[in-house]
Amino acid sequence: MKKFYDVHTHFFNLSHPNLSVFLTKEDMINSIIDSTLTFSTRMKLFASSFITKNYIKKQIHETLNSGIKERLNNTLGFFEIPMEYQFLVLEHFLKNDLSVNDKQIKLGEKIYDKIVLSPLIIDFGRKNIAKTSVYNLMPKTPTANQVGDLLYAIRTYYRFNVKQQGTNMSLSDEIENWENCKEDKLFEIYPFMGIDTENYGDKKDIEILLDKYFGDFKKEDTASVRRERLFQQMGKRDSNMYCKEKGYYYNLFAGIKLYPQLGFDPYPNEKEKLKKVRILYKYCEDRRIPITTHCSDGGYKTEDNDGLTDPTGKWAKVLEEYHDLTLNFAHFGSQKDKKDTKWRNAIIQLTTKYKNVYTDISCNDMSQEYYDQLEKDFKNNPLLNKKVLFGSDFSINMLVTKNNSYHQYLKSFANARLTCKTNLSEHNPEKFLFGGKL
């Protein structure tokens, strides 16, 4: 089978992030102001000593009726789809736009049988968050809820199809013998578990968590064995996160997602905190569990954690100690100042130095200019084209890029002038996820 890999996606709903924290942070407020106020408006504000509420309201409405409105509508509209239907809806629109027959889609000049998705769970939990409301009694957005919703969505995807009736869509009857029909579905779905070691009491808690989901992983697994175990478990579990049966949750996740901009410290100074992250790295290195870490100075950012995210800092220490760790620096170290390439250059050096270090190009602007720069990087660093992975960052990417749908984003990549696209979307991610060629 011909497969296209997208190693960086997000499927969640608006109940999962801590929106009350995120939306009140200074960088988010500044972003809203920047996107709302045009240059001419800024000049008027600067020159005026009295601005009415109606004037500000008018400026906001004008902005929401411009290009940003479509991006907001697309993104929020997808989040508002019941999560258990999100994969089905995505498949429906992909096939409508890209299918060549009932089972295959065409991207550029290539025909694919499957799209392999890796939805990344983000540990939004903040168990010691300051009290912000009367009802703030429980830990914020426990990961179990997000995990349960995602597993139930995957389960629903493999058990049902959608049918369109005019402008409405509904589920068809449940598929009999659904496990035998998984090969007919467009998506293979291998999610990553989100972990922040600070949200767990001690190193024993980390070991219990890792054994719960990854106790069946072995370093000597061949790529075929690893993929087959994950494929067989795909869609078997629902939202029950509290089963005590040993092995019940094995092989539901292909890897682990870390998010330094939310406060995950890759290499803490405090001794007890360091013990917990060392348990995580050692476990992953010994069992060849891939890790994706957020690596841009944007994203879901509640405070300035660039120092934790910077690949030249604490991450360099991690790799010096765990040099066989399979690690993907997401977003290729993207920085808001496009002229600042410090993180990008550091990642290139790390991919050259360590055999299992990768980077993905998720949530880029998909412009030919971006791919021209990538081509230059490949030319200057011959090994790099074997270390870069395709990722979309769907559905977040609809908010920050000009592509208004997943199928449009895929087409932009497929139509780009880039010599190593097959490596990025087929060979490299297969090795990253499973450890070798299938």
269-310 residue pLDDT tens: 999 999 999 999 999 999 999 999 999 998 888 788 999 999
The pLDDT score that the predictor gives to residue 138 is 47
Mean pLDDT across the chain: 86
Give the C-alpha distances (Å, rounded to integers) separating 320 from 256, 277, 325.
Answer: 20, 14, 10
Are the C-beta atoms of 25 and 301 separated by less than 8 Å?
Answer: yes
400-420 residue pLDDT tens: 777 778 998 999 999 999 999
Per-position b or e across 402-433, b if 16+ CB within 10 A of its CB: ebebbbebbbbbbebebebbebbbbbbbbbbb
**pLDDT band for position 371 (cuts 50, 70, 90):** very high
CA–CA separation, 295 and 329 (whole Å): 6
Residue 395: is the preceding peptide bond cis (ω within 30°)? yes
pLDDT at 220 over 80: yes
**pLDDT band for position 26 (cuts 50, 70, 90):** very low
Mean pLDDT of 70-89: 84
Task: Please give the single-letter amino acid code of residue 175.
Answer: I
Ramachandran category for residue 16: left, alpha or beta (phi over 0 → left; psi -120 to 50 → alpha) = alpha
Of 39-43, 133-137, 211-215, the one with minimum mean pLDDT is 39-43
Mean pLDDT of 23-39: 50
Beta-bridge mates of residue 327: 291, 357
CA–CA separation, 360 and 45 (whole Å): 41
**pLDDT band for position 69 (cuts 50, 70, 90):** low
pLDDT at 168 over 70: yes
The pLDDT score that the predictor gives to residue 134 is 58
The pLDDT score that the predictor gives to residue 379 is 96
Mean pLDDT of 147-169: 89
The residues, ordered by sequence, that sit 6+ positions from 42 with a Cβ below 8 Å of its Cβ are none
pLDDT at 176 over 50: yes
The pLDDT score that the predictor gives to residue 437 is 80
**CA-based nearest residue to 343, from 377, 379, 306:** 306
Are the C-beta atoms of 194 and 122 separated by less than 8 Å?
Answer: yes
329-349 residue pLDDT tens: 999 999 988 788 999 999 999
Mean pLDDT of 318-334: 97
**pLDDT band for position 427 (cuts 50, 70, 90):** very high
CA–CA separation, 40 and 29 (whole Å): 20
Domain ranges in the chain are: 3-23+71-434
**CA-based nearest residue to 112, from 88, 139, 94:** 94
Domain 3-23+71-434 top-level CATH class = alpha beta
Beta-bridge mates of residue 126: 140
Beta-bridge mates of residue 170: 163
Task: Please give the single-letter amino acid code of residue 180.
Answer: N
Taken as a whole, the chain contains a residue count of 438
pLDDT at 234 over 80: yes
CA–CA separation, 262 and 386 (whole Å): 29
The percent of residues above 90 in pLDDT, for the chain, comes to 64
CA–CA separation, 269 and 307 (whole Å): 13
Task: Please give the single-letter amino acid code of residue 184.
Answer: D
The residues, ordered by sequence, that sit 6+ positions from 231 with a Cβ below 8 Å of its Cβ are 182, 188
